[in-house]
Chains A and B, each alone.
Chain A
Amino acid sequence: MSVVNYGTREITCKIVYYGPGRSGKTTNLQHVYSQLPEERKGKMVSLATETDRTLFFDFLPLDLGTISGFATRFQLYTVPGQVYYAATRRLVLQGVDGVVFVADSQARQMAENIESLQDLHANLAEEGLDPRTIPLVMQYNKRDLPAAEIRPIEELDETLNFRGVPHFSATAVTGGGVFETLRSIASLVLSRLSAPTAKES
């Protein structure tokens, strides 16, 4: 859980972008990275195959500088969407503070969205995290595709967003909706910031 550490004057939050393969998780991180001012650009770690599929995960450290006297960092991760990387997904979820579920709006990808959402819930539970309460935001990506190929937002929301969490339309490839989504999950995570207990300090 993200903690305000008064001893080291640090706040660190881990956000994971989850979703089926090719839904646009890496594209979200790439857009965030592209918008960072030069002096804030750290290294975005991306392990991809020759065909550009995320092999293990992407990692983007977001150093926000000193805010209210605290060195503030967001760590953005993606998980590999492909079914066979289950162990990596569980690993990346360790210590997660908030999740962005990137759903593919295409009608033919609906089953993959549902499967990935179920996988997320199972993995969160395995990590001892409650899938019903962890900060979560839904992003319905690829809204730029022809209307005939994609599901309406209402339909996606009804099928995938049973918790009624904030949801956003996105076209991550052009950056649409990317920062709105990030801002929303950041807000949810920060609203749960807690003070460290004596044990944690």
Chain B
Amino acid sequence: MAKERQANEEDESGEFADFLADVSQEIAQRVESLDPKVAPVAAEAKKTPPTAEARKTPTTADAGVITEWPSIVERMIEEMR
């Protein structure tokens, strides 16, 4: 993990690199502090089959994909009227 961070930092420069370094540090601390308490809960949750509602909703947020897009478009159209 440390290697990942180092690799990330080496690739960047300037303001974004500083930002990324700070965020990385913050996340590393946060993840570490939460991990021991949470791991069993997450593992337990995996065993539970997803509900129909959960299956419909994309769970992997990808860069550029707005999961709530359809409702946003509807509201846009509504506002334009």
Q: Which residues of A contact B (CB under 8 A)?
A: 4-8, 10-12, 32, 35-37, 39-40, 42-43, 45, 56, 59, 61, 63-70, 72-73, 85, 87-88, 91, 94-95, 175, 178-179, 182-183, 186-187, 190-191, 193-201
Please tell me which one of the listed residues B4, B59, B76 contacts residue A8 in the complex, with CB atoms under 8 A apart. Answer: B59
Q: Report yes or no: A87 in contact with B26, Cβ–Cβ below 8 A.
A: no
Give the secondary structure class of B's interface: helix
- For residue A14, give the distance in angstroms from its CB to the closest CB of chain B: 10
Q: Report yes or no: B64 in contact with A4, Cβ–Cβ below 8 A.
A: no
Contacts of A87 in B (CB 8 A): 75, 78-79
**Interface assignment of B56: CB less than 8 Å from any CB of chain A:** no
- Given the interface pairs A72-B23, A183-B22, A201-B46, the reply to whether A67 lies near B28 with Cβ below 8 Å is yes
Contacts of B16 in A (CB 8 A): 32, 35-37, 40, 179
Q: Report yes or no: B14 in contact with A201, Cβ–Cβ below 8 A.
A: no
Contacts of A69 in B (CB 8 A): 1, 4, 31
- For residue B29, give the distance in angstroms from its CB to the closest CB of chain A: 9
- For residue B5, give the distance in angstroms from its CB to the closest CB of chain A: 6
Sample of 23 A–B contacts (CB below 8 Å) = A4-B34, A4-B38, A6-B39, A8-B59, A11-B27, A32-B16, A35-B14, A64-B24, A67-B28, A69-B4, A70-B31, A85-B79, A91-B71, A91-B75, A179-B16, A179-B18, A179-B19, A187-B22, A195-B38, A195-B41, A196-B45, A199-B45, A201-B46
Q: State the interface size on chain B (CB cutoff 8 A).
A: 46
- For residue B15, give the distance in angstroms from its CB to the closest CB of chain A: 4
Query: A158 vs B14: C-alpha distance in the bound complex, in angstroms?
Result: 33
Q: Report yes or no: B48 in contact with A198, Cβ–Cβ below 8 A.
A: yes
Contacts of A6 in B (CB 8 A): 35, 38-39, 42
Query: A194 vs B37: C-alpha distance in the bound complex, in angstroms?
Result: 11
**Interface assignment of B68: CB less than 8 Å from any CB of chain A:** yes
Q: Report yes or no: B1 in contact with A68, Cβ–Cβ below 8 A.
A: yes
Query: A190 vs B1: C-alpha distance in the bound complex, in angstroms?
Result: 18
**Interface assignment of B11: CB less than 8 Å from any CB of chain A:** yes
Query: A42 vs B66: C-alpha distance in the bound complex, in angstroms?
Result: 13
Contacts of A42 in B (CB 8 A): 63-64
